[in-house]
């Protein structure tokens, strides 16, 4: 994966030192940006970008680090971020570049592409419950990175692919598909708390793990589920097995990642886990 997903910048200088140009701080749609600020404050500064607050951490004396997730649909171009501390306010621009997303065509039975009002109501209700689980606060402070792939196998559909279902354009693919054989173990990609377990019409057997600091993993289409809600899991712990429940054209694991609800490329976080 490209290193452009993650870019560490020693940037904000309240002391009046020159800031780097905006073009130096960039990531593509679905990436993560790491900002660093030199701010002499005893309590954590607030980092705001794209209408949200993002997690920050003290690096050393007067140096802070913050992580910003670039949602898949963030318009390409310049976006302003702000650090705020002790009445001080400083802006910094980041540049979002367009992701290179391919087109993915699938053919599924009609009942999995066109829905009667009752099924549509069920699907919408399930999505509401799923999305509300992304906002549950989890008392943990992990690194903003994934430790491992949740299943071993070839990637069949990449992040961001524009899906054409039975010839109709649909929403983009917000995770990655790992085409592992039925029964392959599915593991937690990072430690966390199980926030949701359910059998969804489209996603099949699904588990949501909240890792803490607004980082969430969604694992779908499993044959079975081996964890229960509110259970804490370690990285690598068994969550279930690969299957083809819900709307699936064959056995695979769908893994998507949310960071403060932004839809992030799991590879951006796996790459971050490999950084020294
Ligand atoms: Zn998928």
169 CA to centre of ligand 1 in angstroms: 15
157 CA to centre of ligand 1 in angstroms: 7
Q: pLDDT tens, 248-276? A: 989 999 999 999 999 999 999 998 888 76
112 CA to centre of ligand 1 in angstroms: 14
Q: pLDDT tens, 242-255? A: 999 999 989 999 99
Question: pLDDT at position 87, please?
Answer: 86
175 CA to centre of ligand 1 in angstroms: 6
Residue 83 has pLDDT above 80, yes or no: yes
- Quickly state the pLDDT bin for 3 (edges 50, 70, 90): very low
CA dist 180 and 202 (Å) reads: 19
Residue 18 has pLDDT above 90, yes or no: no
Residue 113 has pLDDT above 90, yes or no: no
Interior/surface letters 131-167, b for 16+ CB within 10 angstroms, e for the rest? eebbeeebeeebbbbbbebbbebeebbbbbbebebee
β-strand partners of 64:
37, 58
274 CA to centre of ligand 1 in angstroms: 24
252 CA to centre of ligand 1 in angstroms: 8
259 phi and psi, to 5 degrees? -130, 105
Interior/surface letters 190-221, b for 16+ CB within 10 angstroms, e for the rest? bbbbbbbbbebbbbbbbbbbbbbbbbbbbbbb
Q: Given the DSSP bridges, would you call strands 155-157 and 103-106 parallel, antiparallel or unpaired?
A: unpaired
Considering only residues 188 and 112, tell me which one the structure prediction assigns the higher pLDDT.
Answer: 188
80 CA to centre of ligand 1 in angstroms: 32
Residue 24 has pLDDT above 70, yes or no: no
Residue 12 has pLDDT above 60, yes or no: no
Q: Is 36 exposed, middle or buried (0-12, 13-18, 19+ CB in 10 A)?
A: middle
CA dist 91 and 236 (Å) reads: 40
Average pLDDT of span 159-173: 89
pTM of the model: 0.89
H helical segments located in the chain: 117-133, 266-274
92 CA to centre of ligand 1 in angstroms: 35
Superfamily name and number for 3-97: Peptidoglycan hydrolase domains (2.60.40.1590)
Domain residue extents for the chain: 3-97, 104-274
Give the lowest-confidence range in 1-15, 114-128, 144-158.
1-15
CB–CB of 151/184 below 8 Å? yes
Superfamily name and number for 104-274: Glucose Permease (Domain IIA) (2.70.70.10)
């Amino acid at each position: 994966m490209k290193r452009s997903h993650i870019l560490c910048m020693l940037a904000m200088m309240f002391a009046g030192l020159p800031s780097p140009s905006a073009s130096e701080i960039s990531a593509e749609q679905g990436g993560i940006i790491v900002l660093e600020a030199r701010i002499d404050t005893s309590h954590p500064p607030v980092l705001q970008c794209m209408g949200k607050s993002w997690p920050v951490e003290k690096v050393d004396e007067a140096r802070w680090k913050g992580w910003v997730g670039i949602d898949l649909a963030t318009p390409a171009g310049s976006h302003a971020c702000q650090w705020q501390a002790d009445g001080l306010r400083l802006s910094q621009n980041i540049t979002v570049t367009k992701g290179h997303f391919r087109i993915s065509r699938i053919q599924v039975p009609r009942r999995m592409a066109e829905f009667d009002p009752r099924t549509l109501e069920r699907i919408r209700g399930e999505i509401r419950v799923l999305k509300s689980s992304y906002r549950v606060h989890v008392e943990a402070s992990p690194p903003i990175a994934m430790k491992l792939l949740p299943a071993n196998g070839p990637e069949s559909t990449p992040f961001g692919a524009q899906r054409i279902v039975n010839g109709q354009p649909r929403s983009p693919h917000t995770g990655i598909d790992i085409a592992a054989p039925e029964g392959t173990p599915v593991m937690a990609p990072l430690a966390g708390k199980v926030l949701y377990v359910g059998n969804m019409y489209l996603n099949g057997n699904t588990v949501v793990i909240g890792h803490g600091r607004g980082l969430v993993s969604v694992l779908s289409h499993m044959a079975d589920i081996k964890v229960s809600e509110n259970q804490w899991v370690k990285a690598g712990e068994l969550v279930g097995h690969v299957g083809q429940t819900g709307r699936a054209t064959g056995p695979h694991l769908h893994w998507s990642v949310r960071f403060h609800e932004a839809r992030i490329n799991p590879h951006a976080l796996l790459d971050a886990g490999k950084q020294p």
